Amino acid sequence: MDDQMREKGAHIAVMLEELYPETPIPLNHTDTYTLLVAVVLSAQCTDERVNQVTPRLFSMAATPWEMVNLTVEQIQDIIRPCGLSPTKSKAIWGLSKILIEKYKGEVPNTFEDLESLPGVGHKTASVVMSQAFGVPAFPVDTHIHRLALRWGLSEGKSVTRVESDLKSIFPEDQWNKLHLRIIFYGREYCPARQHMISKCPICFLYGLK
């Protein structure tokens, strides 16, 4: 990645920090386990919808032991509004069982172990590693993928390529906060549809569409 691209990235990072000095985790949770479940639920679903569903789920099952005491069908009924409920309910029940049997009920703190759990891909593992354990990671969701291409920070068609490009542009100690700031910015200023350049500071500055 050339110096010009890094300079552009550094300027964008400063603007994002000014707009979002605080980076609260968008998914409501009480510990690492409930964060993991919430992130699994967030696949192809908005954080807002997940936050509407998880209070009921966690009131019944906020630990792996409580979760496996529910049936997959009970979990599915609760999480139905999040979409993909048949797959997600099996994954949540299955990963809870594995956490009990293999990790004494604790969520593991390595990418390899997390990605071995049902329903946990690299993006989900990256969110948990960054937000629960403070390990530098750059989870790429639809907002980040869209903005990275729109801002010319990557030409990657795949999430893997975009993640690699962004990691090469931004210093590692910025990754955890920066990925949240880009998400916040995408939602507030730079949506996929009805994007208004005059109200989008970064795109306006760089003359982007």
Give the distance from CA 129 to its chain's centroid. 10
In the set 8, 123, 157, 177, the catalytic residue is: 123
How sure is the predictor about 209, in pLDDT bands with cuts at 50, 70 and 90? Answer: low
The set of residues, in sequence order, having a beta carbon less than 8 Å from that of 5 and lying 6+ positions away, is: 153, 169
% of the chain residues with pLDDT over 70: 99
pLDDT(207) > 90: no
Higher pLDDT, 6 or 84: 84
Average pLDDT estimate for 134-155: 94
How sure is the predictor about 68, in pLDDT bands with cuts at 50, 70 and 90? Answer: very high
**Distances in whole angstroms, Cα of residue 132 to Cα of each of 30, 91, 176, 186:** 11, 20, 11, 23
Average pLDDT estimate for 79-92: 97
Active site residue 141: yes
* Equal CATH topology for 3-23+137-206 and 32-131: no
**9-23 pLDDT, tens digit each:** 999 999 999 999 999
143 backbone dihedrals φ, ψ, rounded to 5°: -65, -50
The Cα diameter of the chain in Å comes to 55
What is the pLDDT of the chain when averaged over all its residues? 95
Classify domain 32-131 at the CATH class level: mainly alpha
Please tell me the predicted confidence (pLDDT) of residue 206.
83
Please tell me the predicted confidence (pLDDT) of residue 1.
58
The residues spanned by each domain of the chain are: 3-23+137-206, 32-131
Concatenating the DSSP letter of every residue in 51-113 gives HHHHHHHHHH-SSHHHHHTS-HHHHHHHHGGGS-HHHHHHHHHHHHHHHHHHHTTPPP-SHHH
Separation of alpha carbons 107 and 103, rounded Å: 7
Please count the other Cβ atoms lying within 10 Å of the Cβ belonging to residue 63: 16
Average pLDDT estimate for 132-158: 93
The pTM for the full model equals 0.92
In the set 31, 141, 173, 209, the catalytic residue is: 141
Under CATH, which number does the domain 3-23+137-206 receive? Answer: 1.10.1670.10
Active site residue 88: no
Please tell me the predicted confidence (pLDDT) of residue 2.
73
How sure is the predictor about 4, in pLDDT bands with cuts at 50, 70 and 90? Answer: confident
pLDDT(208) > 90: no
